[in-house]
Structures are given as C-alpha cells and as structure tokens.
Amino acid sequence: MTETTEQAGPDPAATFTELYGGEPHGVWAAPGRVNLIGEYTDFNDGFVMPLALPHTARAAVAPRTDGVLRLHSSDVPGGVVSLRVDELAPHSGHGWAAYPAGVVWALREAGHPVTGADIALTSTVPTGAGLSSSAALEIVTALALNDLFQLGLEAAELAVIGRRAENDFVGVPCGIMDQMASACCTEGHALHLDTRDLTLRQVPFDLAAQGLTLLVVDTRVKHALGDGAYAERRAGCEEGARLLGIPTLRDLPYDGLDVALATLADAGADESVIRYVTHVVGDNHRVEQVIALLDAGEVRAAGPVLNEGHRSLRDDLRVSCAELDLAVSAAQEAGALGARMTGGGFGGSAVVLVEAAEADAVAGAVTKAFAGAGHAAPGIFAAIPSAGARRLS
Ligand code: ADP
Ligand code: MG
C-alpha cells in the first residue's frame, strides 16, 4: 500500500549517552492520535473519539537537581537547548523546545517539584499532519517527569498538564482531546471521551478481526488559513451558545437543534454561527451514533456517518480544503465504506474506513487522484488502534 506503519527511528537512549554522557534513568513513549469522529467538539465541552497510532514520540530522560533543563530532538537541527527551570516564562519562544519546556513549566506552576532534567527526544509521529505530534511530545515528557519525580499523577492529570503547556506556554489554543488520547488510549480500542468532565470509555475497535482497515491519508499540506479560522470558529460557537442562553453547545441536545436554529435566526445570529452550531451539535450526535454501532459490532455501518461528518465539516463548518475533499471523494468513489477529514482541517489528514481486502486499491486510487490534480503524493498508512503513553525501559 503505502508506507511502513511505524519507523523505528534512532535509539533515544544512545542519543542521550552521546549528548549528555551517562545512562538515562528510563525511556518512555507516547503516541500520536487520529480522531475517528467528533471534530471541533472538544472546545464546546462535547464528545470525541480518537485512537492512538503506532507512531510515538520517545524520550530518554534523567532527572537533575540543579535547575537545569536540557532538551534535544533528533528530528530537528540545532542541537541541545539548555534552559533554567526557574526562568521558564510563557510565550518566550524556544521553538520546538517550548512543548517539553512548557510541560516542566506547567508542572511547576501546579506546585510539583521538578528541579531539572536531561531529555533526548525522537518521534515517528508525522509533524503538522493533524496527528498530534505536539501532544505526543508533551505527554512523553510529562509521563517521564511524573515517574522520575514520583509526582503520582494519573494519566488524565498528565493530559491536563500537557494541554496547559500548549495553551498557556506555547500559546496554541487547542482543546483537551489530543493530550487525553496520547495519555489514555489503549490497544485495540477507540477512546470515547466526554471533554466536559473527562470521563472516558475504551470502546473495542478491533478492525483486523472485522476484516477492516482504517487508512490515514496525510495530504502533506497545511494551509496558513488554519490558525485564524480556528479562533473564528471558536468565537462563533461561543456566540451561538450565548445567544441560546446555554453554557456551551454541549448543552444543546440533537433533537432540539431545529428549534435552536430558528431561535438563532430570530435573534439575528450571523449565518456562520448557525452553520457552526449545526456542525457541532451534529458531530456530537455522530459520535454517539458511531459508538452505538461499534458496541453493536456494526462497524461497517459507521461509514455513512463518517461521510456525513465530512460533508458537515466541508459545508457547515467550512474547514476542509481541496486536498482533503479530493482524498475523501476519491476514497469514496473507489469503494471506501466512509471517509472524512480529521483534525483541525485546512490540510492535514483524512481517515478512510475500508474493507481490508480493498485497502490497497483505495489507497492507490487516492494517490492517483492526487497525481491527476497536480498535488504532491499523499502519505497513506493503516491506523492500528495502539497503546497510550507508557514506560519502555
Ligand atoms: P501536530 O500536533 O498536528 O503534529 P502542531 O503544529 O500542533 O502539529 O505541532 C507540531 C510542532 O510540534 C512542530 O512544529 C514542532 O515544534 C513540534 N514537534 C513535533 N514533533 C517534534 C519532534 N519530533 N521534534 C521536535 N519538535 C517536534
Ligand atoms: Mg498539535
């Protein structure tokens, strides 16, 4: 089909010894994720349904007591970044190193005695593809420090720390899904997460046993439009909730949608707000539909729900792009059971549910469609529902 699912990458323990001398006290891993259904719902207190990928960020780490934090990624040029933990300040740059440094900052802000560390990182999660390479980096750092400093935090608490790092230190206004997925997913399952109170359920999602494959199509494009559009969608959703007199769009049940849309129109809401509300309430409902189908063992029947999710992201929320629409339509025309863009949109990846026996043909059709449209070849691999963050050694 396609590419290897998981490249081994360099050994972070060997890199650690080369860079810092001595042995790391351990090696940890945290995965990227792909979201099956439930998009732009997490900042509305809604439902999401991600699964962990076999691709991981790995970290070889030793603690320090002298306030020094040294960070290295074998995937970016520039060598070791050396910082002082007591001088970490939000929005102070540091490029990629802001993600792990932000975790140290967030842990210390929460009162945890993290007194420094040497960290050697490497990752096989594609970057900027909507597969949460950033959360993988945060969660692997948080888990390692949790173990080494014996902080006693639970997986969900580590996710909250990772999100705080990304929101308040790096300055990216993401919801909690990515960090929860990286921290809490389990092998062979999708994670049904209620982002309001972080209650979760592991939903069995054994694709292989059903003769199915879930392909990820990485379009390898990322349109600059994305950042401003995210903030604008977020503000529009908040405006919708305000006009409806509810705390968040999560509080609007699906069977109340038509009445709510009429109320919004009467209140003079912008037509964009009406579309955003339509999408968010619809996608929360689609998460519940997919879960019911998975629980009933009717995984194939989730395909049309994915298709409808894409239509709504394209037409209601308007966060798709030509490459994502092409990936989805080419897959659908080649016989996929269902397909949708996943993640924030404006590039990044799509997911395609397909009969395992047809996975190669569908992947080939998508690649051919990209070539025909003059786009660079997409990266396509099978998303095997994998384990969340863990200690490797
Ligand atoms: P996504 O999380 O969807 O991959 P983001 O824009 O949220 O995309 O995060 C990507 C950023 O995370 C990169 O620009 C880089 O700063 C950081 N990052 C991810 N993986 C690595 C890595 N292996 N080494 C260094 N930095 C990384
Ligand atoms: Mg990210």
The span from the CA of 283 to the CA of 211, in Å, is 26
Nearest listed ligand to the Cα of residue 162:
2
Is 33 in contact with 185 (CB distance < 8 Å)? Answer: yes
Cα 62 to ligand 1 centroid, rounded to whole Å: 22
Q: Cα separation of 250 and 233, whole Å?
A: 15
Which among 215, 217, 226 has a CA at the least distance from the CA of 321? 226
Q: Whose CA is nearest to atom 27 of ligand 1?
A: 96
Residue 75, annotated as binding a ligand: no
Ligand 2 centroid to residue 361 C-alpha, Å? 30
What contacts 11, CB < 8 A, 6 or more positions away?
A: none
Q: Under a CB-based contact definition with an 8 Å cutoff, are residues 314 and 196 in contact?
A: no
| 252 annotated as a binding-site residue | no
- How far, in Å, CA of 296 to CA of 311, rounded? 25
**How is 109-149 classified by DSSP, letter by letter?**
HTT-----EEEEEEE-SPTTSSS-HHHHHHHHHHHHHHHHT
Q: Which of 178, 218, 283, 316 is catalytic?
A: 178
Question: What φ, ψ does residue 120 adopt, rounded to 5°?
Answer: -115, 115
- Strand ranges (E), 74-149: 81-84, 117-123
Residue nearest to atom 12 of ligand 1 (CA): 134
Choosing from 134, 172, 180 the residue with most ligand 1 atoms within 8 A of its CB, the one to mutate for a pocket test is: 134
The residue type at 255 = D
Q: Which residues pair with 71 in a beta bridge?
A: 81, 119
Q: Hey, what amino acid is at 155?
A: A
Q: What single DSSP character describes residue 2?
A: -
Q: Is 158 assigned a ligand-binding role in the annotation? A: no
Q: What is the pLDDT along the chain (393 residues), one digit of tens a residue?
A: 444 445 578 999 999 999 999 999 999 999 999 999 999 999 999 999 999 999 999 999 999 999 999 999 999 999 999 999 999 999 999 999 999 999 999 999 999 999 999 999 999 999 989 999 999 999 999 999 999 999 999 999 999 999 999 999 999 988 999 999 999 999 999 999 999 999 999 999 999 999 999 999 999 999 887 778 999 999 999 999 999 999 999 999 999 999 999 999 999 999 999 999 999 999 999 999 999 999 999 999 999 999 999 999 999 999 999 999 999 999 999 999 999 999 999 999 999 999 999 999 999 999 999 999 999 999 999 999 999 999 999
Other C-beta atoms lying within 10 Å of the C-beta of residue 4: 9
Query: Is 66 noted as a catalytic residue in this protein?
Result: no
Q: Is the dihedral of CA 285, 286, 289, 290 positive or negative?
A: negative
Ligand nearest to the CA of 125: 1
Spacing, Cα 74 to ligand 1 middle (Å): 13
CB of 384 closer than 8 Å to CB of 246: no
Q: Determine if residue 99 is labeled as part of a ligand binding site.
A: no
| 277 Cα to the center of ligand 1, angstroms | 30
Residues contacting ligand 1 via CB (< 6 Å):
73, 75-76, 96, 99, 121, 123, 127-134, 137
SS3 259: helix
Return phi, psi of residue 105, to 5°.
Answer: -60, -50
